[in-house]
């Protein structure tokens, strides 16, 4: 829950006193306005108490912005982009290609959870800025990962959908914090999480009042070493049914190699996935992360044409996606 106050108004102090009295966890941000973000669940009694302070002092209550659902007319959600944002030039080339094929959700990591600390860790805040500026140029929306609560204000400023990565699915402090933000959350399944644990993790976000959640099956760790992970196809219809939430599949991280991505995309859609996420790079061999599983422009364009012909992919800017030549 977020409240914002005019910076000239000192009466927010009474509001803060109330939060202190109740030992509530909150964050205070002083910019052009004073923003108070309350973490965790705000029950009806507390809400009306806080609202009464707000009303009596004529403070400004920040309302959630009206958002367009990513699932308009039951269309599948297609998210694509590089594993990591590497530079302005890289993201511009990728976004230009994707938008010419009708893709509207641009993914890209700015804060990267890498297995080895010596690997590229992402561009951080600079990467977020590149993401939102590029997305704006091509009329796309940004999907990016939040790794830690300390990054929340920056990520909210630049992301349309906040991704919680597989490694953080069990981070209940982070999930609770996301319960109070006004952005949809893309919650990836932990690589060793049961379906129950994954659905329960979504409840931590829901409990804080944010019900805009998309689950993402991204493969689990099994005894099979030939693939990076094992995409749990059955988890797609099961988690959908158990949670009542949309479920998409990340084919790239499960496959680990680009040639296995198209069959996983087809299988996920056939199993009822509400969308698919794929890593795409203009030069996969030179990618700073996950190059082996990133699809080239040509291969991804070909996959989209096939999915369009089979009725799975219905982009809004159809003309561009059909007539532009694959790069």
Q: Where on the chain is the footprint of ligand PEP (CB under 6 A)? A: 83, 109, 113, 145, 165-167, 188, 218, 250, 253
SS3 letters across 160-181: CEEEECHHHCCCHHHHHHHCCC
What is the smallest separation between the CB atom of 216 and Mn ion, expressed in angstroms?
A: 13
Binding-site partner at residue 281 among ligand PEP, Mn ion, none, CB < 5 to 8 Å by type? none
Q: Which is nearer to ligand PEP, 217 or 274 (CB)?
A: 217
What is the smallest separation between the CB atom of 77 and ligand PEP, expressed in angstroms?
A: 15
Residue number of the CB closest to Mn ion reads: 83
Element spanning 73, H or E: none
Q: Which two tokens stand for residue 98?
A: 């994707």
Q: Are strands 2-6 and 33-38 parallel, antiparallel or unpaired?
A: antiparallel
What is the smallest separation between the CB atom of 293 and Mn ion, expressed in angstroms?
A: 7
* Backbone φ and ψ of 200, nearest 5°: -65, -35
CA distance 51 to 249: 40
Strand 2-6: give its sheet, edge to edge. 2-6, 33-38, 26-30
Binding-site partner at residue 275 among ligand PEP, Mn ion, none, CB < 5 to 8 Å by type? none
What is the smallest separation between the CB atom of 196 and Mn ion, expressed in angstroms?
A: 26
Element spanning 279, H or E: strand 275-279
Binding-site partner at residue 315 among ligand PEP, Mn ion, none, CB < 5 to 8 Å by type? none
CA distance 264 to 291: 18
Binding-site partner at residue 166 among Mn ion, ligand PEP, none, CB < 5 to 8 Å by type? ligand PEP
Cβ–Cβ under 8 Å, residues 215 and 228: no
Binding-site partner at residue 208 among Mn ion, ligand PEP, none, CB < 5 to 8 Å by type? none
What DSSP string describes 9-50? Answer: -TTHHHHHHHHHHTT--EEEEESSEEEEEE-S---HHHHHHH
What is the smallest separation between the CB atom of 170 and ligand PEP, expressed in angstroms?
A: 12
Residue number of the CB closest to ligand PEP reads: 165
Binding-site partner at residue 160 among ligand PEP, Mn ion, none, CB < 5 to 8 Å by type? none
Binding-site partner at residue 218 among Mn ion, ligand PEP, none, CB < 5 to 8 Å by type? ligand PEP
As to burial, measured by CB atoms within 10 angstroms (0-12 exposed, 13-18 middle, 19+ buried), residue 46 is: middle
Binding-site partner at residue 258 among Mn ion, ligand PEP, none, CB < 5 to 8 Å by type? none
CA distance 96 to 84: 16
What is the smallest separation between the CB atom of 113 and ligand PEP, expressed in angstroms?
A: 5
Q: Which is nearer to ligand PEP, 120 or 200 (CB)?
A: 120
Q: Which is nearer to ligand PEP, 83 or 174 (CB)?
A: 83
Q: Which is nearer to ligand PEP, 15 or 274 (CB)?
A: 274
Cβ–Cβ under 8 Å, residues 228 and 259: no
Q: Which is nearer to ligand PEP, 83 or 304 (CB)?
A: 83
What is the smallest separation between the CB atom of 84 and Mn ion, expressed in angstroms?
A: 7
What is the smallest separation between the CB atom of 265 and Mn ion, expressed in angstroms?
A: 16
Cα separations in angstroms, 150 against 87, 190, 281: 23, 21, 29
CA distance 99 to 240: 29
Q: Which is nearer to Mn ion, 86 or 290 (CB)?
A: 290
- The footprint of Mn ion (CB under 5 A) covers 83, 290
């Amino acid at each position: 829950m977020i409240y914002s106050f005019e910076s000239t108004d000192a009466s927010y102090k009474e509001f803060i006193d109330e939060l202190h009295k109740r030992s509530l966890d909150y964050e205070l941000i002083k910019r052009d306005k004073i923003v108070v973000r309350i973490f965790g669940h705000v029950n009806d009694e507390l809400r009306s108490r806080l609202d009464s302070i707000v009303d009596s002092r004529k403070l400004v209550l920040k309302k959630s912005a009206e958002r367009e659902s990513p699932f308009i007319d039951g269309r599948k959600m297609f998210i694509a982009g590089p594993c990591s944002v590497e530079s302005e030039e890289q993201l511009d080339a990728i976004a230009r290609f994707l938008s010419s094929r009708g893709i509207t959700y641009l993914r890209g990591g700015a804060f990267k959870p890498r297995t080895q600390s010596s690997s590229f860790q992402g561009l951080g805040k600079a990467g977020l800025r590149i993401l939102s500026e590029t997305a704006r140029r091509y009329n796309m929306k940004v999907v990016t990962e939040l790794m830690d609560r300390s990054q929340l204000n920056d990520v909210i400023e630049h992301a349309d959908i906040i991704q919680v990565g597989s490694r953080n699915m069990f981070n209940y402090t982070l999930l609770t914090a996301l319960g109070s933000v006004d952005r949809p959350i893309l919650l990836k399944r932990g690589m060793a999480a049961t379906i129950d644990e994954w659905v329960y993790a979504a409840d931590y976000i829901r409990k804080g009042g944010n019900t805009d959640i998309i689950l993402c099956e991204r493969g689990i760790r099994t005894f099979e070493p030939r693939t990076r992970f094992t995409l749990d196809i059955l988890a797609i219809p099961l988690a959908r049914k158990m949670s009542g939430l949309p479920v998409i599949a990340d084919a790239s991280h499960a496959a680990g190699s680009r040639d296995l991505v198209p069959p996983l995309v087809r299988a996920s859609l056939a199993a009822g996935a509400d969308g698919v996420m794929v890593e795409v790079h203009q030069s996969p061999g030179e990618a700073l992360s996950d190059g082996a599983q990133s699809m080239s422009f040509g291969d991804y364009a070909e996959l989209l044409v096939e999915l369009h012909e089979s009725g799975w992919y219905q982009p809004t800017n159809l003309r561009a996606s059909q007539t532009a030549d694959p790069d």
